[in-house]
Chain A
Amino acid sequence: MSVRRRTKLSESGPVTVVTFADSKIIDEEEIQELGQELYDLVDREDRKKIVLNFAHVEFLSSAALGKLISFEKKVSQHGAELILTNIRPEIYEVFAITKLTKLFKIKDDEADALAVL
C-alpha cells in the first residue's frame, strides 16, 4: 500500500473513516495527492463504506471541492457509500452556497454516520 500523506485512516467495523492531514486544503499539488489517496480507497482497496471526517479542515478552495465531487462520483460508480461529517459551520456554508449539500450525504458527527452505514 502506498504511503498516505494527505489522509489518515481508521476502521470502525466495515467503515473506513478518513481524516485530513491538512487544515487548509488549497495547494494544487496537495489536492492532487489528496485525490489520489481518496481514489485509491475505492479503486485499489475496494472499500465500500467511507466517512470523510472534516474536523481538522479550516479552509478549502473550489479546487478541493472539485476533487471531492470527483471522488463522490467514483464512489457511486463503485456502488460504495460516502458520508461527510464534522464539518465546521463556515465550511458547511461553502457547501451550502455551492449547493453541494444536495450532492453529498452529510451528518453532524462520526457516530451519526456510523449509525446509518
Chain B
Amino acid sequence: MTSHRWSQNIEQTLPSRQGAHVPLIEEILAKLEELGWEFRDRFGIHMALEESLTNAIRHGNKFDEAKVVKVHYRLSPERFWLMVQDEGPGFVPECVPDCTCEDRLDVPGGRGLMLIRAYMSDVCYSDRGTCVTMEKIRGQEPAMDD
C-alpha cells in the first residue's frame, strides 16, 4: 500500500460550519477529472465525500466551531484515499440500524454510511468512530446486495 505512487497527498482542516466542506469537494472532484477519472467513479467519490464530511461536521462536531474536521486525502490516476476525523464523542458503526430492512425502509435517516460503504472499495472506522478511512480503486463497481 505504501509503495503506491500518489499524485497528491494533502492534509487540511475544515471548520465545523454548515457547507464548509463544499469547496473542498469541488476541488477534489476537479483533480480527479484532471487525472482521467470517469464520471461514474467521480459520482461515487462525491457521495462518499459528501456523506463523510457532513457526518463529521453535523453528527461528530455538531456544528461546534471550536472543533475542526481533519481531512487527509491522496489521489492518483488509479486510487483515491481519504481520512476524515472529527472531535465528537464517536459512535459504533455496527450499532447503526440497517436502513434496508423491510421494517426500516420508510425511516428517513441512516443511509449515509451505507452509501459510503457501497461506493468505496474499502472503509474502516477507528478512534471510537471519530475517524473514517476509505479507499476507492478506479473502475470498481459499487457494492449492491441481492
Contact = CB atoms under 8 A, between A and B. Distances in A.
Interface size class of A (residues with CB under 8 A): 20 to 34
Interface in A55-95: 59, 61-63, 65-67, 69-70, 72-73, 90, 93-94
Contacts of A27: 19
A97 B112 contact: no
Nearest to B21: A26
B144 A59 contact: no
B10 interface: no
Contacts of B66: none
Contacts of B112: 61-62
A70 B58 CA distance: 20
Contact of B50 (A61, A72, A96): A61
B51 A61 contact: yes
Given A26-B50, A97-B118, A98-B100, A62 B111 contact: yes
Contacts of B22: 26
Contact of A90 (B43, B105, B107): B43
A44 interface: no
Contacts of A26: 22, 50
A102 B106 CA distance: 10
Interface of B: 18-19, 22, 39-40, 43, 46-47, 50-51, 54, 58, 99-100, 102, 105-109, 111-112, 114-115, 118, 142-145
